[in-house]
Amino acid sequence: MKRMILISGGCRSGKSRYAVEMARQINSPKTVYIATLCFKDAEMDERIKKHKQSRPAEWQTVEEDKNIEQVIINLRGLAEVVIIDCLTVFTSNLMLELQEHKAVIQKAENLLKVIKDSDLTTIMVTNEVGSGIVPDTPLGREFRDLAGGVNQMAAREADEVYLMVAGIPLKVK
């Protein structure tokens, strides 16, 4: 059964682990993990390896930093479950490229529409950016505000929303 699920929470709160658990429970061999991270260094490569090891080997991984909606479109008939990890990095990638709030919001709205129009169960991971300190730079505040707006849009569209706290999922919607 098709669903749109949003999992939010702070850093290291267990969001990705819970997304993988949810997808495993659906038990579809046609699961695709969309990774949005484009910046990599030695430490990040180690994190990525650990993430990959936590997923079933038969799942396909697609690395896409900005054009997730096209990946979703291309998966029609080929996948049943998609994990997008994560919306926050996706938003950051768009912000750095497009440098205009309206364009980033439009791209996020388009992604959510494509997901809604698909026949996939989609599990989106995002970071809760509103619980931290106020960033001390204009760019940091702009990112926090933009990411918070994208999270709110995704939560409105989602069928289910979970907040991860210390590894424990709390159902919000």
Q: Which residues are catalytic?
A: 51
CA–CA distance, 35 with 26 (Å, rounded to integer): 20
Residue 85, beta-bridge partner list:
35, 125
Question: Which helix (H) or strand (E) covers residue 106, if one does?
Answer: helix 101-117
* Peptide bond between residue 86 and the one before it cis (omega within 30 degrees of 0): yes
CA–CA distance, 35 with 84 (Å, rounded to integer): 6
Q: Is the dihedral of CA 168, 112, 30, 2 positive or negative?
A: positive
